[in-house]
Amino acid sequence: MIAKSSHHAAASSAKGPVDVVVADKSPLILAGMVHLLDQDERFNLVATAADGERFMEAVDRLKFDVGIIGWNMPYLSGQGVLQSLQKREDANLPRVIVFTGNGAPDIPRQVMRFGGAGFCSKTDQPTQVLETVLAVAEGRMVFPFMDLTRSGSDPFSGLTAREQELLASLSRGRTNQQIAGDLSISLNTVKFHLKNLYGKLDVKNRAQAVACYLNASGNV
């Protein structure tokens, strides 16, 4: 692991840079991300890591806002990293974006299921990657939902971005109060969006909504 800086700004701070740690098995990808982040004053690259285990070491040793990790990494995969973070109770854990060249269509859904906050493909434009980091640092979830939906009468295709965020939060077991805090919205607003979400999915409660989501993603 290569430490870049000891500076730390509060997560989602509008006045300071977003502290980032990047993990990827490819030295070329790491070098590219270092260049991309270092030249943008909105970000502070805290460290880089060559695999998932070293990323988790960074989580233990450093404070940062957002982790950008690969999916196929040695020693500990992207899925392994997300599952390890899910088991922790620390409220100050970084939010994680999976950045991968793996084109398997189900990966974004798996990232959501295991608690990731965002997904980017290595074919995305650099500006899109940076905007995703900023959005995730602000507490939002960013996934390519249009790529995840199926053709025809797929109920997921009619969800708004906010409803998609709530569905992802439900799949992670978040309560209404936790969702309100995560998204910086009121509890009443959460209930309003959930009512609309349930209507669009033709379900009666959160358990049925999650079951519908997992069935569509092939995870049950």
Mean pLDDT by 10 residues, the chain (220 residues): 42 69 94 94 95 96 95 94 88 91 82 88 90 90 58 64 83 84 88 90 85 62
| Measured distance CA(140)–CA(165) in Å, rounded | 8
Q: Identify whether the C-beta of residue 55 lies closer than 8 Å to the C-beta of residue 84.
A: no
At the topology level, CATH places domain 2-147 in Rossmann fold (3.40.50)
Q: What's residue 67's pLDDT? A: 97
Q: Where in the chain is the domain with CATH 1.10.10.10?
A: 149-217
Residue holding tokens 């300071």? 16
What architecture does CATH give domain 149-217? Orthogonal Bundle (1.10)
Q: Where in the chain is the domain with CATH 3.40.50.2300?
A: 2-147
- What is the distance in angstroms between the CA of the first residue and the CA of the last residue of the chain? 37
Q: What's residue 157's pLDDT? A: 66
Rounded to two decimals, the pTM is: 0.66
Q: What's residue 112's pLDDT? A: 83
